[in-house]
Structure 1
Amino acid sequence: MKYIDLFAGAGGLSEGFSRAGFEAVAHVEIDYHACNTLKTRQAWYYLKNKGLRHLYDEYLRSGKSPEELYALVPPEITNSVIHAEISEKTTPGIFQLIDQKLGPDERVDLIVGGPPCQTFSVAGRARLGRQAMEDDPRSRLYIQYAGFLAHYQPRMFVFENVLGLQSFRQRNQLDHIRDTFREAGYDMAVHKWNARDFGVLQSRERLIIIGWRHDQHQELGYPDLQPDYKHNFRVWDLLRDLPPLRPGEKDNRRYKSAPTPYLQRFGLRDENQILTWHESRAHRPVDLEIYAKAIQVWDREARQLRYPDDLDAHQISHKNVTGFKDRFKVVAGEKPFSQTVVAHIHKDGHYYIHPDAGQCRSLSVREAARLQSFPDNYYFEGPRGSAYKQIGNAVPPLMAERIARRVKAALQGKLKGQFLPSEPAASKQLQLDYSLAD
């Protein structure tokens, strides 16, 4: 089955659909470094399937340029990544590129993706103001998404976004989206899901909109995504095999220990994996003081540090001392899930403090990627800040894989009677979290 990934980012959603056996016709993404990450991942799949994984491993060890890796695979593999903005002006050209990739008798079965979520984020509205966010042209990118549906007429689509979409423009945004998709020929349903229910050791609530073509209403619907497995893993199961780091250090020489049962069960690491991006950022001395205090408060009292209540006068630098009292937060190793990983992690690590007092730093790039359930063989191209941003913006691959497998079963006619209501009452009354976790 063939799909198109719009607003693809670093490919978290695509990773799930690739694992489920879908074939990508195109990934469309505006960020240059994210495009290279997508190309690198496509090269990894090609080389692995051809029994040439050692060439990919050599790339990771050698420090060669991405172009040298891409030269090892047929050009159509990396050309599936289209570096372009999606807008009214650019869409016709993108259609032309994708149409050239499709054979005369080939069709697109599915379109996936979610427009940038910053405009719908409750935290974004709190920082920049509601009117500024509602005037942002990114808030209307769903119209371009509908254009792709109308052009390619896939049987289904998957649209992911933050909970704030539910309250955007006085809760009318979802109605606008529903009407726009209906005009394009699609019915849809929306449900809230949490990534922690799919094996991800992170609490990450998102809206997953799934739609189906009008003429498919008797065969298709919103698949029940609820997983049927339970586990008792903790965040430490993601961290304990990695070598310790001090602020500003990196250590990709070797793992400290064998992969934990969690890493093995959910496919994040195997014995032959090469460690990359285990690199931490440097911190100001005053921030390190706060980090140490935050870890101490957590270890002694099992609570997060309150800003500025728990700090000394010289440690208080923000004018706003009434909002975001949890701006410094420990990733608690003893808990079954962490706080939500968001793109803001590329600006500072205050919200993602490593739980080990002996390391006293924010999470490394690889640790953040693991919280998002990216496997260790997933390499992020670009500088460190870009890697953090790509990770924070992504859909967790474990969550994406569950969605992909259920959507595939629906398309194959294997889910008779296993569809959720199109208009669940709960989706009208979502309880929004107005903290940074959004």
Structure 2
Amino acid sequence: MYNVLDLFCGTGGFSYGFESAALGFKTCLGVDVLPVAGKTFQANHPDALMLTGDIRRLRRIEVSEKLKLKKGQIDVILGGPPCQGFSSIRPFRSSIEDDPRNSLFEEYASFVNYFRPTVFVLENVVGLATHRSGNTVESMEACFRSLGYETEWRILNAAHYGVPQKRERLIMIGAQKGIKIRFPNPTHSSCGATIGHKDRSRLHSPMQPNLFNAKAAALEKAVSVLEAISDLPAIAAGESAVGYRDVQNGYQLSRRGRSAQVSLHSATAHTPKMLEIIRHSGKNISSIPSHLISSGFSSCYSRLDGDEPAVTITVNFVHPASNRCIHPIQDRALTPREGARLQSFDDTFFFSGNRTQVVKQIGNAVPPLLGRAIAESVATML
């Protein structure tokens, strides 16, 4: 059994993915500042301790006492410190355990320093790679080296691991000295534009030269939007439904699990003007007649391609004015359940809160299937 701490846990999608790998990972702790996220985490990790509040106010020794676990008894620490803390990263001050001036990254590092896990995994936005011309991520690695850990980071695309979404994230894995760091080999291939990085060696991709090319042709094609959601009932804007259609593929069957009814499948009640905009929608905003809109990013008021993985799901995926989130076939934005499917959440995963809160939790989450893939690599390291 491997004990796992999930910091800045949100819904707990990352650790849920680790547990679903069925490789002996046990989530012991979740920490998040949002009470509603804490309730979601607790509902899906009933045996874990959930601590809600500002992590800067938590004393590591008290956390250890509540867990009844000491230094060296934690195997893995997961987490994605919010990026607003990066600008204040300073040399790590290990002698000051509880300093309210610490950045959120420093809090993550302090947990690593206190509990001394064998492995830690830090997840964040791709923009971290170029923040302050790369100095930020270098400072983070230097911090962990000072604590006795070796680190490597890569940019992973969730679509390469069975998630029906081209969601790219920077994944940093750290390990105690002497342990070879491993990243998960892609299981699916996907084409199309991505954010990427100028240093191509940082892209952990089936198309990366000398890495996976020999095997890329044998990989499964990435799961598309319609492959992920086509068993959910067709509904119009403002409607909801609970009955499944016939299952059409393995992805749908896996996400359903033992769920007897569809939950969270309610569509936004769009205004007449928005419905007219949606009827004109295509791959980008240029499909919309100019008299219907006054401004917007190229991805606004845009329809998803049903035959490809979705673009990155945001916290506003039920509002077409904010991002590309219109259903491939139906004239409406995605429902919360469709967003959850595109994030690879099982239909049995419970989300706490009202509709707006649920949508934000889904959009902010680490896709569980990405977590599961990383867990398989971490298990080989352990």
Give TM-score scaled by structure 1 length. Answer: 0.72
Which residue does the alignment assign to 1:255?
244
Question: Are 1:35 and 2:1 counterparts?
Answer: no
What letter corresponds to residue 306 of structure 1 in structure 2? I
Question: Are 1:353 and 2:326 counterparts?
Answer: yes
Which residue does the alignment assign to 2:225?
235
1:109-258 aligned within 5 A: 109-117=75-83, 119=84, 134=87, 140-213=103-176, 217-218=177-178, 220-228=179-187, 230-232=219-221, 233-252=223-242, 254-258=243-247
Which residue does the alignment assign to 1:16?
17
3-state SS in 2 of match to 1:370 = helix
Change (3 A) 1:32 1:263: same
1:91 is displaced (CA, Å) by 2.8
Question: Are 1:108 and 2:74 counterparts?
Answer: yes
Checking the alignment, whether the CA contact within 8 Å between 1:10 and 1:390 is kept in structure 2 is: yes
What letter corresponds to residue 339 of structure 2 in structure 1? A
- Provide the aligned C-alpha RMSD in A: 2.5
1:105 is displaced (CA, Å) by 9.0
Paired with 2:129 and 2:145, the residues of 1 have a C-alpha distance of 18
3-state SS in 2 of match to 1:283 = coil
Paired with 2:137 and 2:71, the residues of 1 have a C-alpha distance of 35
3-state SS in 1 of match to 2:74 = coil
Paired with 2:349 and 2:101, the residues of 1 have a C-alpha distance of 28
1:271 is displaced (CA, Å) by 6.1
Paired with 2:224 and 2:10, the residues of 1 have a C-alpha distance of 28
Change (3 A) 1:382 1:406: same
Paired with 2:255 and 2:140, the residues of 1 have a C-alpha distance of 35
Paired with 1:224 and 1:238, the residues of 2 have a C-alpha distance of 25
3-state SS in 2 of match to 1:286 = helix
1:284 is displaced (CA, Å) by 2.2
Paired with 2:130 and 2:231, the residues of 1 have a C-alpha distance of 41
Higher-helix-fraction structure: 1
Which residue does the alignment assign to 1:367?
338
Which residue does the alignment assign to 1:91?
58
Query: Please, which runs of 5 or more residues in structure 2 have no aligned partner?
Result: 90-99, 189-218
Describe the superposition over 1:200-228 as per-residue Cα deviations: whole angstroms up to 9, x where unpaired: 11101111100012xxx22x132131134
Checking the alignment, whether the CA contact within 8 Å between 1:346 and 1:385 is kept in structure 2 is: no
Checking the alignment, whether the CA contact within 8 Å between 2:277 and 2:288 is kept in structure 1 is: no
1:4 is displaced (CA, Å) by 0.5
Checking the alignment, whether the CA contact within 8 Å between 1:147 and 1:184 is kept in structure 2 is: no
Which residue does the alignment assign to 1:276?
263
What letter corresponds to residue 311 of structure 2 in structure 1? Q
1:316 is displaced (CA, Å) by 1.7
Paired with 1:3 and 1:99, the residues of 2 have a C-alpha distance of 16
Question: Are 1:390 and 2:377 counterparts?
Answer: no
The equivalent position to 2:290 in structure 1, one of 308, 312, 318, is 312
Which residue does the alignment assign to 2:192?
none
Change (3 A) 1:271 1:361: same
Checking the alignment, whether the CA contact within 8 Å between 1:250 and 1:278 is kept in structure 2 is: yes
Query: Please, which runs of 5 or more residues in structure 1 have no aligned partner?
Result: 44-76, 121-132, 299-303, 412-438
Checking the alignment, whether the CA contact within 8 Å between 2:163 and 2:370 is kept in structure 1 is: yes
3-state SS in 2 of match to 1:27 = strand
Most deviating of 134-143 and 345-354? 134-143
What letter corresponds to residue 34 of structure 2 in structure 1? D
Considering Cα pairs closer than 8 Å and 6+ residues apart, tell me whether 1 or 2 has the greater RCO.
1
3-state SS in 2 of match to 1:166 = helix
Checking the alignment, whether the CA contact within 8 Å between 1:343 and 1:390 is kept in structure 2 is: yes
The equivalent position to 2:303 in structure 1, one of 320, 330, 353, is 330
Give TM-score scaled by structure 2 length. Answer: 0.82
Paired with 1:104 and 1:404, the residues of 2 have a C-alpha distance of 23
3-state SS in 2 of match to 1:344 = coil
What letter corresponds to residue 404 of structure 1 in structure 2? A
Checking the alignment, whether the CA contact within 8 Å between 1:241 and 1:260 is kept in structure 2 is: no
Which residue does the alignment assign to 1:68?
none
Percent of residue pairs bearing the same amino acid type: 32
3-state SS in 2 of match to 1:81 = strand
1:107 is displaced (CA, Å) by 0.7
1:247 is displaced (CA, Å) by 1.3
Change (3 A) 1:277 1:147: same
Describe the superposition over 1:310-344 as per-residue Cα deviations: whole angstroms up to 9, x where unpaired: 4232x2243xx6xx222122111122x11011223
Paired with 2:101 and 2:271, the residues of 1 have a C-alpha distance of 35
The equivalent position to 2:51 in structure 1, one of 82, 92, 115, is 82
Which residue does the alignment assign to 1:342?
314
